[in-house]
Amino acid sequence: MAKHYILVVDDDPDLVETVAMMLESKGCEVGRAYDGVEGEESIKQRRPDLVILDVMMPRKDGYVLCAELKSKDETKDIPVVLLTAVGEAVPTTTYTHRDGMSTEADDYIPKPIDTEGLWKVVSGLL
Amino acid sequence: MGTCAPLSLGGFKILDQVLWTPLAENGLDGSPGREFCSLLSTREVNLPFLTLERSGPQTCWNIVFGSQDASHAGAIFPDHILCEGGAPMPGAVLSLFPHRNDPIVAGRLIQAFARAGIWPYVLAYSPSALSVVVPAAAVAQATEAIFGPFCFGTFHTPVDWRLAQQGKEALFKEVVASFSEKRPKVYGLRWSDNLRLFILDLEKATMPLAGRILEALAPSGGPLHFLMSSLSDPASRTRLLIAVPEEARFACSAAIGRGADQGFSATSRPAALFTMNGPHFGDRFGITSILLQGFEEAGLHLIALNCSVASITGLVAPEEADRAVSAITHCFEVPAVIKLSA
């Protein structure tokens, strides 16, 4: 059975590796990108089966990238999971949950999440 | 070196407008510098980068804090600063990733900086990033220098990178985490107890040699699990701490031994490593203080510790590994503890 290819996009390289290790342990192939523009280019080069996307990133944040993916015929069916520490726990920020929900992400998971919880969401969407 | 093809990395980022301070404490028992970190935490000073090394009776620190925190932080340790002039120095933290535990990344970076006349203040590994603290005045030069030995995804030239930074500052500086959890959450704790730590004691001027040694380790010296430099007292010397799997001990010894007649000494000891990362670890105060307090209460003796990017990585003696894991899970909310095979 072909492996699922999942793209992880986050500007925290250590988190990228944490998530990648978990996904690879579940038998997935993992691509990595470290900001929104790099993520966008990676998706153009190889279509992922699912994208795990951080919100706060340089050059293009996750909300914008998610909205763009969902607005194009060729990418709108790619499941997108938004990972973010934005929320009640971070009182000083310009981001809100409302911004996240309006991007039509397939799921929205506040950080920190345990990796098994993330896998539950990912496997449900694949 | 000039004929080697650039090594492809994922990216790099620079945290600027920081101040760097090396400190030395002598003759301490118990947890070194816990009082420093506790005072910094009380003053809500975030430490985006830190190294700590305990060497006999001396503990050497390299502390980096934001320039906006200068007045809060600087007053805490004026008697211990090793900098010439006794004041924190303007700097920037440059982080390259992912290093894939390949010593060639650090080796090439150190040598590239040496060729460019850049003398990093301090460097350290996180699980996937290599972070280097450079003088603020050398940031532009450092950015140019890394495009020699490395190439990066979407940044083909230093100009690409500079253009990409526009508008980024506001994004990062607006967000300051102020969680109110009882125990800070982490993504996971990974640890390994089968490592060999090598400590190279060298003049700062011989850092290029250390770079060549690291590059020589790449073929057979095993993955590099820990890397950190530590400014010692007197401030003209530095120690480089590198940890490889125990099974790579002899290959690593051989690589180091080839340089031993060139003005540095090396010692080695077994070690265990722990590493964890968490949301906003890089922009939230108090994390290191919590860890040091937990270790002191557990009677543990840190060999070395570094906080870089958004991770904390440390070394203890292998016989203390289990207790270190317990102390960490007591102080932090850890969803998963993974023992790594070295």
Q: Is residue B289 part of a domain?
A: yes
Same-domain status, B111 and B206? no
Q: Inform me whether the pLDDT recorded for B131 exceeds 80.
A: yes
Residue B49, in any domain of the structure: yes
Residues B213 and B157 in one domain: no
Contact list, A14 vs chain B (CB under 8 Å)? 126-129, 277, 309-311
Query: Chain B residues with CB inside 8 Å of A117's CB?
Result: 335
pLDDT the model gives residue B11: 85
Locus of tokens 């030239």: B157
Q: How far apart are CA B334 and CA B189, in angstroms?
A: 7
Q: pLDDT by residue (tens digit) across B12-52?
A: 888 889 999 888 777 655 455 667 788 888 888 888 899 99
If one counts the domains in chain B, the total is 2
The last residue of one of the domains, among B147, B173, B199, is B173
Q: Phi and psi (nearest 5°) for B332?
A: -125, 155
The reply to whether residue A16 touches residue B98, judged by beta carbons under 8 angstroms, is yes
Shared-domain flag, residues B233 and B327: yes
Query: Does B261 lie in the same domain as B208?
Result: yes
| pLDDT of amino acid B171 | 40
Q: Contact, B149 vs B1, CB < 8 A?
A: yes
Nearest-Cα residue of chain B relative to residue A113: B187
| Top-confidence residue, B271 or A15 | B271
- Residues B79, B130, single domain; the answer is yes
Query: B179 lies in a domain?
Result: no
Do B254 and B207 belong together in one domain?
Answer: yes
Tell me the whole-structure pTM to 2 decimals: 0.85
Report the residue count for chain B: 342
Contacts of B282 in chain A (CB under 8 A): 12
Q: Is A64 on the interface with B (CB under 8 A)?
A: no
Same-domain check for residues B19 and B60: yes
Q: At a CB cut-off of 8 Å and minimum separation 6, what does B324 contact?
A: B191, B272, B274, B295, B298, B300, B314, B316
Domains of chain A and any CATH numbers = 5-120 (3.40.50.2300)
> Is A115 near chain B, with CB under 8 Å?
yes
- Find which of B166, B169, B174, B175 to mutate to test the A interface (most A CBs within 10 Å of its CB): B175
Cα distance between residue B14 and residue B94, in whole Å: 4
Confidence of residue B269 (pLDDT cuts 50, 70, 90): very high
Instruction: Report yes or no on B300 lying in a domain.
Output: yes
* CATH code, B329: 3.30.2130.10
Residue B324 within any structural domain of the chain: yes
Residue B274 lies in a domain: yes
Looking at the fold, whether B224 and B262 belong to one and the same domain comes out as yes
Give residue A32's pLDDT band: very low, low, confident or very high (50, 70, 90). Answer: very high
Q: In whole angstroms, how far apart are CA B89 and each of B20, B22, B39?
A: 5, 9, 20
Q: Between B38 and B332, where is the model more confident? A: B332
What is the percentage of chain B residues whose pLDDT exceeds 90?
A: 38
- pLDDT tens per residue across span B221-262: 679 999 999 876 555 778 899 999 999 998 888 888 876 666
Min Cα separation B177/chain A (Å)? 5
Residue B110 falls inside a structural domain: yes
Which pLDDT score, from 0 to 100, does residue B232 have? 61
Of A33, A38, A112, the CB nearest to B187: A112
Specify the pLDDT at position B278.
Answer: 78
Q: Specify if B183 maps to a domain.
A: no
| B274, B242: one domain | yes
Pair B218, B253 in one domain: yes
Q: Which domain holds residue B215?
A: 188-339
